[in-house]
Amino acid sequence: MSTPQPNNPLHGITLEKILTELQAHYGWEELGRQIDIRCFTHDPSIASSLKFLRRTPWARERVESLYVYMVRRNNGSPL
């Protein structure tokens, strides 16, 4: 049984959904500028990015942070 996590804005959101929404909003080129990682700058794809982000905690944290920023900025309110 899952417990509510009111202080976790990413609860219930998959990494794939996060990455898909970021790519749709910013595009690969801007994502590569925002977060300088090779999977965004050289032949980017959702699959290769997911593989890298699942193995690299610091990069995943930056992607999640950018997602939270994007959602808060677009909605004008906290998640």
Q: 15-75 has which fold?
A: 1.10.720
40 close to 31: Cβ distance less than 8 angstroms: yes
pLDDT < 50 positions in the chain:
1, 78
Among residues 5, 29, 27, 22, the alpha carbon closest in space to that of 62 is found at 22
Residue-range domain boundaries for the chain: 15-75
Residues 25-37 have pLDDT tens digits of 999 999 999 999 9
Q: Where does 1-77 have alpha helices with state H?
A: 15-34, 38-41, 46-55, 57-75
Q: What is the pTM of this model?
A: 0.83
